[in-house]
Amino acid sequence: MQPPADYRGLKTSNNQQPAAAKRLGPSDPKRSVAISIGLRRRSGAPPLPSLEDLAKQPFSKRPYCSREDFATTFGASQDDADIATRYFSDAGLEVLRTNLPGRHVRVRGTVAQLEAAFFVQLHDYEIDDTAYHGYEGQLSLPESLTQIVEAVLGLDGRPRFKPLNVPPPPPPPGSGSPGAVPVTPLQVAQLYNFPIGPTVAENQIIGIVSIGAAYNPDDISQYFSKTGPGAGLVQPTVLFPDPQLPAMSSNPVSSDYELTMDITISSSIAQGATIAVYPWPPNDPTAALIAAVHPTAGSPIPTVISISFGGAEVDPIGDSVMMQWSSLFQDAAMLGVTVLVAAGDKGCSGGNSAGRVSVYYPASDPGVIACGGTMISSAVHGRRGWGFYETTWNDSYLAEDPNRDVTGGGVSMYFPLPSWQNGTNVPPNYSTQFVGRGLPDIAGNASSNSPYIMVFYKINDFYGSGTSAVAPLYAGLIAIINCALGTPVGFITPTLYQLGVAGLVFRDVDDGMNNQVWGLNPPSPYVSSPGWDPCTGWGSLNGKRLISVLTGMSTQPPFPLIPVTILPPGFTLTWDGITTQVIGGFDDGGSIIIIYQWGVIIKIIPRPPVFVPNMPTLSTGIAAFLALVSLASMANATTDAALNESLNAARLELLRKFGDQMLRSVLTHEKA
């Protein structure tokens, strides 16, 4: 099909089918297909601040944009949209929607009309038992339109992403770690020290971008009923807010259990939040992400988005798709929306067919928080709260079974190392030696040995697992944090790395385990080690500790986080007969924040004048004085008589041991 002389090829549309794809024949010319047209940002608009630009700004000063300002500054222009819609209308296509902030036009037509509009021939193909329509070669449009259109999405409908998990069987006896048992999301929230309550995420909207639209509301009702696993929790409101995306179906298939798990886990954590689901059409997953990041007028606006699917970077996802998704993640960052993505369940290979080391996309995109997997076991509740053992998730190794799953992780072959990962020992990409973005960023319980109890097909005690569970788990925490702070935290990844370096909010997993699938190639070059690593990232998050730190950061002048030695090595305090020690802290320029081993965070205001950023350690006297002030702050803040008595005992112990040194230090400072 030869285009007219004034037509040009659309550079981003070059397309080849995978070698494994089987061509079945020409597509039915009468078949109706909807597609998305990506438009450029308005002419003359300033460049959208990059993720690196945002990362350079202190947490409290990141320049998030209102949706109105974003649309008029960084969206598509009405003139460009009019030119595009006029052309496609003249070609006989129905214009379904124009989304100026999201820079997309959605149109629908028959195969014959689409072939004529783009001067291309569509064929039906099959790969991995999945049929789809697609094309080879390049699309053509009038030359003036090629300056406006950045991408055409959905004209090639091959499956680029896949669900990361399928319903696991009950863990066979002896296949896991001793003490690993099924858990509810609420129990995991308790272990991770998340705030818990019926309104902890009140008025928050969690967006779930899903492969399927099928879930049975009765499963959710049964889960939250008086006899269900979520008894005592508030059942969420679940919306399918975009009428142009697939409608909710109550006849789920196995792959759609992920949506049930996403809803169950996120709403169990973020009590009081509303869940908005954005299922993507089979040929065009980008349409769902556009709807979640740039909802239409009158639709709910998520401040956190959870994604539990992906594809290996080494597989042919397509440059135009990745370009559009990365652009939308950049939009989300600028709008103050946090995006969390499952890092994958097939270990260091990403489940690719070639048996190569690979990470998953979109988890590898620097605009998202990539969520890896751990296994929790031996949870006990004692005087100081919950204690448990946490290891790298590798069920395949534990069971010596290549069919069991493993946390994803590794180094991107596309995205360069972002500045916030400098100094975290991210290795080069194993296959190409490219210095790329490392993932995951964080990790959480994902093992089928410690699976999440849920209801599916109306079956109580159905089990969910995988990093597909970790993304909604932490999406729930972000919703809680947004509620606590009264404002969205937005693009928080650089801050998490600052806190990771400072040793403040993570439970490090450094057991030396790798993320190789048992008995299969490729061998994993990655192991869990102290600090950040390509298996578990920084580890699991301490929810209340993170909220306390972010609260201090959001109410103080901008500052870089500076890891410091708050107390001399070996300095200990006694609380209620338990000896503990200060484990970290930082100076925010206006106050001192000290982290104690038992998880208490103390903020000392005003900032003691003797404590300066360039002073890496403190004298014993000043350190003891700061600890004394901290204990006094705790005593003043609590109404618990037993706790107050313990705090006073600790203060007396400090005065007895270090009173003279404190006095000398304070007098010395006053003379100066």
pLDDT digits (tens, 9 = 90+) for 650-662: 667 667 666 666 6
Question: Last residue of some domain: 551, 577, 598?
Answer: 551
Same domain? For 650 and 602 the reply is: yes
Same domain? For 589 and 525 the reply is: no
Same domain? For 593 and 536 the reply is: no
pLDDT of amino acid 385 = 56
Residue 474 pLDDT greater than 50, yes or no: yes
pLDDT of amino acid 253 = 60
pLDDT of amino acid 373 = 97
Which of 115, 150, 256, 258 is catalytic? The answer is 258
Same domain? For 546 and 567 the reply is: no
Distance CA 372, CA 456 (A): 24
pLDDT of amino acid 592 = 46
Which of 219, 262, 284, 313 is catalytic? The answer is 262
Distance CA 588, CA 562 (A): 8
Same domain? For 512 and 566 the reply is: no
Same domain? For 449 and 515 the reply is: yes
pLDDT of amino acid 650 = 64
Distance CA 642, CA 575 (A): 11
Distance CA 99, CA 36 (A): 10
Question: Last residue of some domain: 504, 526, 551?
Answer: 551
Q: Clarify whether 90 is annotated catalytic.
A: no
Tokens of 155: 């004209």
Total domains present in the chain: 3
Average pLDDT of span 310-321: 85
pLDDT of amino acid 462 = 83
Q: Is residue 535 part of a domain?
A: yes
Which single residue is written with the structure tokens 């959605």? 106
Q: pTM for the full model?
A: 0.83
Distances from the Cα of 123 to the Cαs of 10, 21, 155, in angstroms? 19, 11, 10
What confidence tens digit (pLDDT) does each residue in 319-367 have? 889 999 999 999 999 999 999 999 999 888 887 766 788 999 999 999 9
**Residues 6 or more apart whose Cβ sits within 8 Å of residue 391:** 177, 374, 375, 377, 509, 511, 513
Long-range contacts at 612-615 (CB < 8 A, ≥ 24 apart): 612/587, 613/562, 613/587, 613/589, 615/564
Name the pLDDT band for 598 (thresholds 50, 70, 90).
Answer: very low
Q: Is residue 166 part of a domain?
A: no
The mean-pLDDT minimum among 333-337, 394-398, 508-512, 572-576 falls in: 572-576
Mean pLDDT, the chain, as a whole number?
Answer: 82
**β-sheet bridge partners, residue 210:** 279
pLDDT of amino acid 657 = 66
Q: Clarify whether 258 is annotated catalytic.
A: yes
Q: Clarify whether 262 is annotated catalytic.
A: yes
Tokens of 56: 């350079």
Which of 396, 412, 450, 468 is catalytic? The answer is 468
pLDDT of amino acid 419 = 95
Angle separating helix axes 620-637 and 641-671, nearest 10 degrees: 140
Same domain? For 348 and 215 the reply is: yes
Range of the domain at 86: 7-40+76-153
Same domain? For 356 and 488 the reply is: yes
- Best CA proximity match to 313, nearest among 380, 362, 371: 362
The mean-pLDDT minimum among 15-29, 254-268, 475-489 falls in: 254-268
Same domain? For 644 and 536 the reply is: no
Q: Is residue 369 part of a domain?
A: yes
Distance CA 262, CA 472 (A): 6
Same domain? For 307 and 237 the reply is: yes
The backbone torsions φ and ψ at residue 105, rounded to the nearest 5 degrees and listed phi first, read -120, 130
Residue 380 pLDDT greater than 80, yes or no: no
Tokens of 405: 């799953």
pLDDT of amino acid 58 = 79
Average pLDDT of span 291-306: 96
The mean-pLDDT minimum among 185-194, 321-330, 456-465 falls in: 456-465
Q: Is residue 98 part of a domain?
A: yes
What confidence tens digit (pLDDT) does each residue in 69-93 have? 999 999 999 999 999 999 999 999 9
**Residues 6 or more apart whose Cβ sits within 8 Å of residue 223:** 229, 230, 264, 454, 455
Average pLDDT of span 509-513: 92
Q: Is residue 219 part of a domain?
A: yes
User: Residue 280: in which H helix or E strand, if any?
Assistant: none
Q: Is residue 450 part of a domain?
A: yes
- Best CA proximity match to 559, nearest among 504, 612, 637, 511: 612
Contact in structure between 206 and 475 (CB atoms under 8 Å)? yes
pLDDT of amino acid 349 = 84
Contact in structure between 412 and 359 (CB atoms under 8 Å)? yes
What confidence tens digit (pLDDT) does each residue in 228-271 have? 999 999 999 999 999 989 887 766 665 478 899 999 999 999 99
